[in-house]
Structure 1
């Protein structure tokens, strides 16, 4: 699986184009702004887009959906709790296949109710659940520090340390990291009880 990590817009968002090398089938994760950059990447590499996958419903991760559908004729995939228009509703543990590549859906609420991470080929696309050096905010509608605690420590913390982390925004010291490095260096992932985490996040 080849990863094209594209920084777009003025909020340091990442849009991802993932290519299955054998078949040239691909998926686009979180299209928002600078769609000409995304489309140029698709065209330059002669890719056939099968799906658009949103890691959550916030506008800065979904605003490019309709335009991408118009250009690629692909289907929009979102978690089953999303309130936005989509073609296929996905759930925890489900497998998304394109070509000979595969992504596993992990439901990670906290930043939003419908937040998911996508894991495949030694990589994790974490949306706004986990950033390099930080985590997503919990003060927007549907946000929950308690849910984020369990997503971070009961799920992501237990994943393979070698998984390469590709976040939803370029907010850290580097555009990508690993789960193992984040466990060592990310202050959000330092061991805490749930109550300590709620206090740390300034939430009840």
Structure 2
């Protein structure tokens, strides 16, 4: 498998390019509109054809590049059916398997940060979006957030994966690039050490985070797959 982890510095957003070495078909997870040229140049340099853009949720902190990539490269955008973005080409549900060449990704519905959050599971790794972060989790104080649902999603859908499964999140603000299920179960300050649902909800209620500075522009744009009418 061809694999690249890409970062948008302004929003500390990770995007992931996965390519099949046999068929040269590829997917891009959580693309950012401002990084469009980077993606296109990378695809060309690796001789890859982009088939899908996979969104983990409708983002409030950056504008997705899925619509622009669809216009330029003919790729299809994928979102969960509860995401509220009918612009997607494929609206998926829990348990759907996406096959691109020799790549297989399982969709796991992991709501709580938003109602339409998903994680994409492969044999040795999981792309968790904003549901499970390295030493943290997505916030639950806006955009259909629900701390109890997020706890259930992480415990039942993510912590049930093999302990050595690599965790690739949608963001990291400390420069971390990858974790593992074992590490998050043991050391995550919000969820690790067997924290209860009630303890997690109390932690999330006390965060008192600032209003996301990009949300008023990002949300309506992302409900249109990043294509904003002029």
Q: Secondary structure at the match of 1:63?
A: coil
Q: Secondary structure at the match of 1:188?
A: coil
The TM-score, its normalising length taken from structure 1, stands at 0.94
Alignment of 1:119-158 (within 5 A): 119-158=121-160
Q: Secondary structure at the match of 1:5?
A: strand
Gaps spanning 5+ residues in structure 1: where? none
Alignment of 1:66-77 (within 5 A): 66-77=67-78
What is the CA distance between 1:189 and its match in structure 2?
A: 2.0
Q: Quote the residue 2:23 is aligned against.
A: 23
In 2: Cα distance, 1:132 partner to 1:172 partner: 9
Q: Quote the residue 2:165 is aligned against.
A: 163
Check if 1:118 corresponds to 2:120: yes
Q: Secondary structure at the match of 1:155?
A: helix
The TM-score, its normalising length taken from structure 2, stands at 0.84
Q: Quote the residue 1:194 is aligned against.
A: 197
Deviation string, structure 1 residues 130-187 (Cα, Å, up to 9, x no partner)? 1111111111221110100101112211111111111101224521111111212211
Larger RCO, structure (CA 8 Å, separation 6 or more): 2
What is the CA distance between 1:17 and its match in structure 2?
A: 0.9
In 2: Cα distance, 1:180 partner to 1:2 partner: 25
Q: Quote the residue 2:226 is aligned against.
A: none
Check if 1:63 corresponds to 2:64: yes
- Greater CA drift, 174-183 or 141-150: 174-183
Q: Indicate if the aligned counterparts of 2:11 and 2:62 stay in contact, CA closer than 8 A.
A: no
Measured on the aligned residues, the alpha-carbon RMSD in Å equals 1.5
- Greater CA drift, 93-102 or 52-61: 52-61
List 4+ stretches of structure 1 deviating above 6 A: none
Give the total of aligned pairs.
Answer: 203
Check if 1:44 corresponds to 2:45: yes
In 2: Cα distance, 1:9 partner to 1:74 partner: 25
